[in-house]
Structure 1
Amino acid sequence: MDIVVAHDFYQQRGGEDQCVEDEVKMLRSHGHNVTEYFVHNDSLEGMPPLTLAANTIWSRQAFNDLGAIVRDRRPQVVHFHNTLPLISPSAYYATKQHGAAVVQTLHNYRLLCPNGLFFRQGRVCEDCCGKMVPWPAIKNKCYRASRAATATISGMLAIHKLAGTWRSAVDMYIALSEFGRSKLVAGGFPASRVATKPNFLARDAQPGPGRGGYVIYAGRLSSEKGVDLLLEAWGALGREVPLKIIGDGPMAGRVKDACSQEPAIEWLGQLDIEAVYELVGDAEALIVPSRCYENFPRVIVEAFGKGTPVIAPGFGPIGEIIENGVTGLLFRPGDASDLVQKVRGMMADGVARAHMRRAAYRAYADNFTEGVNHKSLMRIYERAIATADASRRRQSIRVYAETRQKTPQ
Structure 2
Amino acid sequence: MNILLVHNFYKFFAGEDSIALREKDLLEKNGETVYFYTRDNRETDNYNLFQKILFFKETIHSKKTKKEIKDILRDFKPQVAYTHNIFPLISPSIFHTLYDASIPCIQNVQDYRWLCPNGVFYINDRICERCKNGAFWNAVRYRCFRESYILSGLYAATISANRLAGVFKKIDAFLCTTEFNKQKLIEGGVEEHRIFIKPNYLDISNIEPSYGEGDHIIFLGRLSPEKGLWTLVKAFEKLKDLKLRIVGTGPLEQSLKIYIKENNIKNISMEGFKQGAEKDNLLKNSLFMVFPSEWYEHFPIVLLEAFAFGKPVVSSNIGNMPLIVENGKSGLHFKAGDVNDLIEKVMTFSQHPAEILKMGMYARKEIETKYTPEVNYKILKSIFLKFSSNF
Same fold judged by TM-score > 0.5? yes
Unaligned runs of 5+ in 2: none
Match of 1:100 among 85, 99, 103: 103
The answer for the alignment partner of 1:401 in structure 2 is none
1:231 aligns with 2:214: no
2:2–2:80 Cα contact (<8 Å) kept: yes
Distance 1:24 1:203 in 2: 18
TM-fit CA distance, 1:203 = 3.9
TM-fit CA distance, 1:137 = 1.1
The answer for the alignment partner of 2:161 in structure 1 is 159
1:259–1:267 Cα contact (<8 Å) kept: no
Distance 1:294 1:182 in 2: 14
The answer for the alignment partner of 2:200 in structure 1 is 199
Match of 1:87 among 77, 90, 96: 90
TM-fit CA distance, 1:161 = 1.1
Distance 1:50 1:182 in 2: 37
- Letter in structure 2 aligned against 1:5: L
TM-fit CA distance, 1:255 = 2.4
The answer for the alignment partner of 1:183 in structure 2 is 184
Any idea what the Cα deviations from partners look like across 1:73-115, whole Å, max 9, x if unmatched?
1111111111001111111222233332111111100000110
Matches within 5 A, 1:364-403: 364-385=367-388
- Letter in structure 2 aligned against 1:345: T
TM-fit CA distance, 1:2 = 1.0
SS at match of 2:226: coil
Distance 2:365 2:176 in 1: 23
2:212–2:354 Cα contact (<8 Å) kept: no
Distance 2:194 2:150 in 1: 32
1:23 aligns with 2:26: no
Matches within 5 A, 1:3-402: 3-45=3-45, 46=47, 48-131=51-134, 133-166=135-168, 168-204=169-205, 205-238=207-240, 240-260=241-261, 261-385=264-388
2:8–2:89 Cα contact (<8 Å) kept: yes
Distance 2:386 2:265 in 1: 53
Q: Choose 207-216 or 66-75, whichever is displaced more.
A: 207-216
1:74–1:100 Cα contact (<8 Å) kept: no
- Letter in structure 2 aligned against 1:247: G
Distance 1:195 1:3 in 2: 19
- Letter in structure 1 aligned against 2:78: P
Any idea what the Cα deviations from partners look like across 1:182-203, whole Å, max 9, x if unmatched?
0000111011111111111134
Aligned residues: 385
Any idea what the Cα deviations from partners look like across 1:334-353, whole Å, max 9, x if unmatched?
10110111111111101111
Any idea what the Cα deviations from partners look like across 1:351-403, whole Å, max 9, x if unmatched?
111110110001101111100110111122123335xx5xx9xxxxxxxxxxx
SS at match of 2:174: strand
Any idea what the Cα deviations from partners look like across 1:292-333, whole Å, max 9, x if unmatched?
111111100111111110111112011100110100000011
- Letter in structure 2 aligned against 1:322: V
- Letter in structure 2 aligned against 1:339: L
Distance 2:212 2:356 in 1: 9
TM-fit CA distance, 1:8 = 0.6
TM-fit CA distance, 1:49 = 4.3
- Letter in structure 2 aligned against 1:196: I
TM-fit CA distance, 1:283 = 1.0
Identity %: 32
SS at match of 2:132: coil
TM-fit CA distance, 1:123 = 0.6
1:258–1:265 Cα contact (<8 Å) kept: no
1:215–1:241 Cα contact (<8 Å) kept: yes
Distance 2:227 2:317 in 1: 14
TM-fit CA distance, 1:210 = 4.4
TM-fit CA distance, 1:256 = 1.5
Q: Choose 281-290 or 358-367, whichever is displaced more.
A: 281-290
The answer for the alignment partner of 1:404 in structure 2 is none
TM-fit CA distance, 1:257 = 2.3
Distance 2:387 2:130 in 1: 31
TM-fit CA distance, 1:206 = 2.8
RMSD over aligned Cα atoms:
1.5
SS at match of 1:19: helix
1:210–1:282 Cα contact (<8 Å) kept: no
Distance 1:341 1:278 in 2: 27
- Letter in structure 2 aligned against 1:216: I
TM-fit CA distance, 1:226 = 0.8
SS at match of 1:100: coil
For the pair shown, which has the larger CA radius of gyration, 1 or 2?
1
